[in-house]
Amino acid sequence: MIASSHGTIKGFLKFAAHTGTMEIIGYVFIIIAFARLLAEGFERLGYPGFLGEITAGMILSALLLDMPRDQMELLAELGLFFLMISAGLEVTPEELHYAGKITLPLYALTYTAMFLVTLPFTGWTVGSDNIISAAILSTASAPIVLRLKRFFGSDFLHVALSYAVISEIFGLFIVYMTIRFHENPGDYGPILSSILKDFIFVGTLLYINYLLGIKQKVRIIRFLRRLKSDEAVFGLFMVFSTSLAFISEEIGMHFSIGGFLAGLMMHSDLVGTKQYDRLTTIVSGVTYGIFAPIFFAWRGLNFETELSLVVIEFFIAIYLVRLTLSSLIVRKTDLSTSLVRGAGIASFGVLGLLMGEISFVSGALSEHMYAMASLASVLGIFTSATLGRVINHYKAEKPSGTV
């Protein structure tokens, strides 16, 4: 995968040095404060707070016209980095491997279905519009799945999170490869080299994680116990995660993938339950208190779409196919549980907006399909949250002991 040209750690350091610090802090304060205010309102209505943060971004897009967009965009990219770390901390490699037996075929089926559904809207022609739109519409964002887990239960979390992780990684991969083909048609050597580097990097990390879990687990736990403060644990983890992020970026992956892999390796089986709790507590505070609101609000700030009957028809077709397919694959004996699980997996994702934006700017995605895919992503998040809320409210009102 090719690293995003407009959102990198090195880019953040470069741009921050050329912009007034107080100006950036002022805009950050406004965005976080307004995003958290609307998030609280949405939480009180029974919806995930990130929908309020996205809405805040849409409103602020008409007000904050002179903000330093490069710097704010890079802060939003750091938000994605921390959200991916949080997602990695929520699942172990073993759970990912186990759940992947279900979710990998589900992703393949979902991508194929989304590809076919987009054909009538592109004049029955096959091109980059179909390939990229299908990747966007097959995504379930890991950060959003974490926030929706109350709707489908913690027992199903590792399956839903596995699908989200697989869909995000493959989605980014498909988008960046399609852009590469679009920009350099016929030049396959660098693309194959990038794919090989990605597989070697991820495979090596997982093998190291396996060896550490067998031979060095006790030493790691003892070392972490000697650290007196939570901040020291967090500091060491940030050194580790940013190192993986830099490596990921250098070999052509999006740097947030390195953050996810760092979180994936720091599971409780390796570092011990107490040290894991210390780490997750401070990471959660930093992520959802500072960076997540910026990321979600920024996606709202950059949201572009068009409203027409065709766009509504497109969303209805996409959502019904995704919900039906997901519910059938992960079904339980009762319909309500099957639907709420399907809604969790068919929650689309804010990362889809990022993929669409990158593809549109590069010229690989048309303005029409970018607008339709963007609206479908936002409406999909809202619809899944509403469906989960309604079903859980219905189940709560049923007399105990009934199914």
Span 82-99, average pLDDT = 78
CATH number of 9-397: 1.20.1530.20
Structure confidence at residue 3 (pLDDT): 46
- The pLDDT-based confidence of 18 (bands split at 50, 70, 90) is low
- The pLDDT-based confidence of 196 (bands split at 50, 70, 90) is confident
Residue of 216 and 133 predicted with greater confidence:
133
Residue 128 has pLDDT above 80, yes or no: yes
Residue 20 has pLDDT above 70, yes or no: no
- Which range, of 175-179, 213-217, 322-326, averages the lowest pLDDT? 213-217
Burial of 168 (0-12, 13-18, 19+ CB in 10 A): buried
Residue 320 has pLDDT above 80, yes or no: yes
What's the whole-number average pLDDT of the chain? Answer: 79
Amino acid code (one letter) for 372: M
In 216-330, which ranges are continuous DSSP H helix? 217-226, 230-250, 255-265, 268-271, 273-286, 292-301, 309-329
DSSP code for 20? -
Q: How many C-beta neighbours within 10 Å does residue 402 have?
A: 6
Residue 260 has pLDDT above 60, yes or no: yes
Residue 154 has pLDDT above 80, yes or no: no
d(CA 94, CA 114): 29
Residue 114 has pLDDT above 90, yes or no: yes
Domain boundaries, the chain: 9-397
d(CA 396, CA 368): 42
Span 86-103, average pLDDT = 77
Span 67-91, average pLDDT = 80
Q: Give 305's Cβ-side CA count (13 Å radius).
A: 22
d(CA 100, CA 87): 15
Residue 69 has pLDDT above 80, yes or no: no
Query: Which one, of 136, 142, 144, lies nearest residue 171 by Cα?
Result: 136
Structure confidence at residue 5 (pLDDT): 44
Span 335-353, average pLDDT = 81
Residue 111 has pLDDT above 90, yes or no: yes
Residue of 14 and 398 predicted with greater confidence:
398
DSSP code for 91? S
Span 47-56, average pLDDT = 81
- The pLDDT-based confidence of 2 (bands split at 50, 70, 90) is very low
Span 290-309, average pLDDT = 77
d(CA 295, CA 357): 14
Terminal-residue alpha carbon distance, the chain: 46
Q: Which tokens hold the place of 42?
A: 């949405």
Span 243-266, average pLDDT = 84
Element containing residue 377 per DSSP (H, E): helix 367-397
Structure confidence at residue 243 (pLDDT): 92
